[in-house]
């Protein structure tokens, strides 16, 4: 490509600008401070702009240097991430991040099936619901829960949308005589941050008034699996999506006392850097498997 500055000088400049130290940049790059200074001087000559103010034992960015650093640091981060991703794909590794409840209730019970199909692929699983900066973190793909959306910077693929249902233990159902939705006025509601839709469900499927709904005892959880575990222990009714309680339904630990099902425009999505879904390799194998498993469970 034409009009590219000296790439070694760019790397030296990025390290020095990030650390505001030629000596620390030299340690990071395994060269001498003098070599860093020469590389940056070469870049300044190529650009025709002074990038650093040089003082005794101290350097600081010029206005032009600060602006330039802001532009090239993002680009170099993208190059670093893309290189890491390709290197991991070559070694049949996939780094995936997903919410803790999804990992515990849906992914982990199925993981052995993936490993049987792809024994040579090494999975690295991070359980987190926070946003991921693909330019700065060594993560290939993530599973996140949010409303359906499109992005010009990310590949986004729907795994499944939520259809919220009510679950409780058989013992709890019998104890409170939950024979119809109207009886929920005497129950304890187990609410989750991810699906805070109890009011909508009660307004749609019961004749309870706003005041009666507000008076129902409610326990709020920041993780769905905690709400599910509480329901298993006969302490309330939980509103959640079916894939997160598959095991409990099969084992009889939870039942669905009523077929009051509330569709919402939220769900679990597979997310990766833009264009990453077309690169193939181990990530594509995991992506296809996830899609198939989600279809099979719905």
pLDDT at res. 91: 60
Position 246 scores a pLDDT of: 94
Cα separation, 114 vs 286, whole angstroms: 8
Closest CA to 156 of 14, 287, 292, 13: 287
pLDDT tens sequence across 10-67: 999 999 999 999 999 999 999 999 999 999 999 999 999 999 999 888 899 999 999 9
% of residues, the chain, pLDDT over 70? 96
pLDDT for the residue numbered 76: 84
Q: What is the pLDDT of residue 199?
A: 96
How many other C-beta atoms are found inside a 10 Å radius of the C-beta of residue 149? 9
Render pLDDT for 204-245 as a digit per residue (tens, 0 to 9). 999 999 999 999 999 999 999 999 999 999 999 999 999 999
Band of pLDDT at residue 80, cut at 50, 70 and 90: confident
User: 80: number of CA atoms within 13 Å, CB side?
Assistant: 15
- Does the pTM surpass 0.75? The reply is no
Q: How far apart are CA 114 and CA 23, in angstroms?
A: 48
Domains, in order of start, for the chain: 7-88 (1.10.10.10), 163-265 (3.40.190.10)
């Amino acid at each position: 490509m034409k009009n590219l500055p000296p790439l070694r000088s760019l790397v030296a400049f990025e390290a020095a600008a990030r650390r505001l130290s030629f000596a620390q940049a030299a340690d990071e790059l395994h060269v001498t401070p003098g070599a860093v200074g020469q590389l940056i001087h070469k870049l300044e000559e190529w650009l025709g702009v002074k990038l650093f103010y040089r003082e005794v034992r101290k350097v600081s960015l010029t206005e032009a240097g600060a602006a330039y650093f802001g532009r090239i640091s993002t680009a170099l981060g993208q190059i670093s991430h893309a290189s890491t991703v390709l290197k991991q794909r070559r070694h049949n590794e996939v780094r995936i991040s997903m919410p803790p409840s999804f990992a515990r209730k849906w992914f982990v019970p199925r993981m052995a099936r993936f490993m049987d199909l792809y024994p040579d692929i090494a999975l690295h699983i991070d359980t987190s619901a926070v946003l991921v900066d693909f330019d700065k973190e060594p993560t290939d793909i993530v599973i996140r829960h949010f409303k359906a959306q499109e992005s010009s910077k990310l590949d986004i693929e729907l795994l499944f949308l939520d259809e919220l249902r009510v679950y409780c233990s058989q013992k709890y159902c019998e104890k409170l005589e939950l024979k119809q939705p109207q009886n929920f006025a005497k129950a304890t509601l187990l609410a989750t941050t991810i699906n805070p839709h109890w009011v909508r469900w009660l307004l749609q499927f019961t004749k309870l008034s706003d005041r009666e709904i507000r008076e129902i005892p409610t326990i709020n959880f920041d993780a769905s699996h905690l709400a599910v575990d509480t329901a298993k222990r006969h302490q309330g009714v939980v509103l959640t999506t079916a894939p997160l309680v598959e095991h409990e339904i099969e084992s009889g630990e939870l039942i669905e006392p009523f077929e009051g099902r509330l569709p919402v425009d939220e769900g679990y999505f597979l997310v990766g850097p833009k264009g990453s879904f077309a690169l193939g390799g181990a990530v594509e194998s995991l992506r296809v498997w996830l899609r198939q498993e989600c279809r099979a469970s719905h």
